[in-house]
C-alpha cells in the first residue's frame, strides 16, 4: 500500500444538451483540463479529504460522515470504492483540479473518477474502466440527484462520446489534432435543474411546435458524429451553429451568451454555441488550431474567463 495519484479529464457537451433529457442523442468530449487526486492509506480509521481549490480539509468518520460538507462526495466515492474491493481503511485524500467547478464542465465527475482510481491503486488494486465509471456514477448521484451518466463516462474513457438516454454510450473515432476548443465564461452562474424544468415546461405547453425541434436536434447530433469521424470540422462548426440556434429557440440562451457566440464566429471560429444548461455558464467555440489565438483575444475582451483547450484522448489514468 502506498500513495497513488490519479487524474481524469473534464468535459464539454458539443451537441444535444437539453434535447438529450427527452431521449435524443448527445455528444460530449473530454477536454485537456484534469482533476488530480492523491490517496494514501493511514492507520486511523477516518477519511481525511483536502481540496487545494477550496483551501479546506475535513475528516470524515465513515460511520457518521458529515453529509453537508462539499467534500463529502469525495469521501463517499472512496467508501464506495472500498466496498467494491471488500476492504475498509483509513485514507488521506488530496484533490487538486484545473476544471472550473459548477460550470457544466464535469468537474465533480472527474474528481469522483480520479478518486476511485487513486483509492483502488493505493490499496493495491487495479479496477477496469467499466467499474470505475460505475462507482463514480453512484457517487455522482449524491451531487446531482439524477446524473445522465455522460460526465463520469467521458471522464473515464476520454475522447468523444455519443450518448443516448436508456441506450448507453458509443466511443467515436475522431482525430481532433487539427482543432482547438475555446471556452468563454459569461460570468453568470446558472442552475441546471431550473433550466431543464423551464425547457420541459415550454415543451409541455407547445408540444407540436417543440417536438420537431427535438427531432432536428437528434438528427443533428447523428450527422455531427459522422462529420467528426470524417474529420470535416467545417461541417461540425456549421452544425454547432445550427445547434445553438435550436438552443436559443428553446429559451436557454441569453444576451451575454449571444454576444460571446457572435464574437467567436466573427474572430474566425468554425462554429460556436452555448454548452451545457445555458442561462449563463460557458460557450464553446470550435477553431482551427492556427485561429485559436485570435478567437481567444476577441473573447477576452468580453469574458472574465477564457480557456483554450484541446480534446483529451485519454480518460482516467494513474500518474504515479
- Per CB under 6 A, residues contacting ligand PMV are 17-18, 20-21, 104, 148, 192, 196, 276-277, 281
Cα Rg of the chain (Å, integer): 20
CA distance 278 to 281: 6
Q: Which is nearer to ligand PMV, 104 or 218 (CB)?
A: 104
Q: Which is nearer to ligand PMV, 176 or 282 (CB)?
A: 282
Q: Please report how close the Cβ of residue 26 comes to ligand PMV at its closest, in angstroms.
A: 7
Q: Which is nearer to ligand PMV, 10 or 271 (CB)?
A: 10
Task: Kindly list the distances between the CA atom of residue 201 and the CA atoms of 48, 207, 253, in Å, as whole numbers in the listed order.
Answer: 43, 10, 16
Closest C-alpha to 47, from 119, 120, 144, 125: 119
Q: Please report how close the Cβ of residue 24 comes to ligand PMV at its closest, in angstroms.
A: 10
Q: Please report how close the Cβ of residue 94 comes to ligand PMV at its closest, in angstroms.
A: 25
Q: Please report how close the Cβ of residue 117 comes to ligand PMV at its closest, in angstroms.
A: 22
Q: Please report how close the Cβ of residue 316 comes to ligand PMV at its closest, in angstroms.
A: 19
CA distance 287 to 302: 18
CA distance 51 to 73: 12
* Residue with the three cell numbers 471560429: 269
Residues whose CB is less than 8 angstroms from the CB of residue 204 and which lie 6 or more positions away in sequence, other chains included = none
CA distance 223 to 28: 14
Residues whose CB is less than 8 angstroms from the CB of residue 39 and which lie 6 or more positions away in sequence, other chains included = 3, 4, 6, 78, 91, 92, 93, 94, 115, 118, 119, 121, 122
Active site residues: 151
Note whether 89 and 82 are within 8 A (CB): yes
Q: Which is nearer to ligand PMV, 172 or 196 (CB)?
A: 196
Q: What angle do CA 260, 263, 267 make, to 5 degrees?
A: 140
Q: Which is nearer to ligand PMV, 81 or 275 (CB)?
A: 275
Q: Please report how close the Cβ of residue 133 comes to ligand PMV at its closest, in angstroms.
A: 17
Q: Which is nearer to ligand PMV, 11 or 36 (CB)?
A: 11
CA distance 218 to 317: 32
**What is the grid cell recorded at 158?**
476520454
Report strand pairing: 90-97 vs 47-51. Answer: parallel
Amino acid at each position: 500500500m502506498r500513495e497513488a495519484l490519479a487524474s481524469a479529464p473534464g468535459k464539454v457537451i458539443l451537441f444535444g444538451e437539453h434535447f438529450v433529457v427527452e431521449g435524443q442523442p448527445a455528444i460530449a468530449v473530454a477536454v485537456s483540463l484534469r482533476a488530480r487526486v492523491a490517496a494514501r492509506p493511514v492507520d486511523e480509521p477516518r477519511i481525511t479529504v483536502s481540496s487545494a481549490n477550496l483551501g479546506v480539509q475535513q475528516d470524515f468518520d465513515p460511520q457518521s460522515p458529515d453529509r453537508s460538507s462539499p467534500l463529502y462526495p469525495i469521501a463517499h466515492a472512496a467508501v464506495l470504492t472500498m466496498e467494491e474491493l471488500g476492504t475498509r481503511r483509513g485514507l488521506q485524500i488530496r484533490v487538486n483540479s484545473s476544471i472550473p467547478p459548477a460550470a457544466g464542465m464535469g468537474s465533480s465527475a472527474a474528481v469522483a473518477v480520479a478518486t476511485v482510481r487513486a483509492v483502488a491503486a493505493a490499496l493495491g488494486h487495479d479496477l477496469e474502466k467499466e467499474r470505475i465509471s460505475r462507482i463514480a456514477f453512484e457517487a455522482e448521484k449524491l451531487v446531482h440527484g439524477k446524473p445522465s451518466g455522460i460526465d463520469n463516462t467521458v471522464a473515464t474513457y476520454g475522447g468523444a462520446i455519443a450518448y443516448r438516454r436508456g441506450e448507453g454510450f458509443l466511443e467515436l473515432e475522431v482525430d481532433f489534432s487539427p482543432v482547438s476548443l475555446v471556452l468563454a465564461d459569461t460570468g453568470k452562474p446558472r442552475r441546471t435543474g431550473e433550466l431543464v424544468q423551464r425547457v420541459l415546461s415550454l415543451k409541455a405547453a407547445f408540444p407540436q411546435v417543440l417536438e420537431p425541434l427535438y427531432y432536428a436536434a437528434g438528427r443533428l447530433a447523428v450527422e455531427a458524429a459522422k462529420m467528426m469521424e470524417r474529420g470535416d470540422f467545417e461541417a461540425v462548426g456549421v452544425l454547432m451553429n445550427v445547434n445553438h440556434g435550436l438552443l436559443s429557440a428553446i429559451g436557454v440562451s441569453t444576451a451575454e451568451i449571444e454576444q460571446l457566440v457572435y464574437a467567436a464566429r466573427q474572430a474566425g471560429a468554425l462554429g460556436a454555441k452555448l454548452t451545457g444548461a445555458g442561462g449563463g455558464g460557458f460557450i464553446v467555440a470550435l477553431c482551427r488550431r492556427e485561429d485559436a489565438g485570435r478567437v481567444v483575444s476577441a473573447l477576452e475582451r468580453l469574458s472574465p474567463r477564457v480557456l483554450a483547450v484541446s480534446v483529451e484522448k485519454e480518460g482516467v489514468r494513474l500518474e504515479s
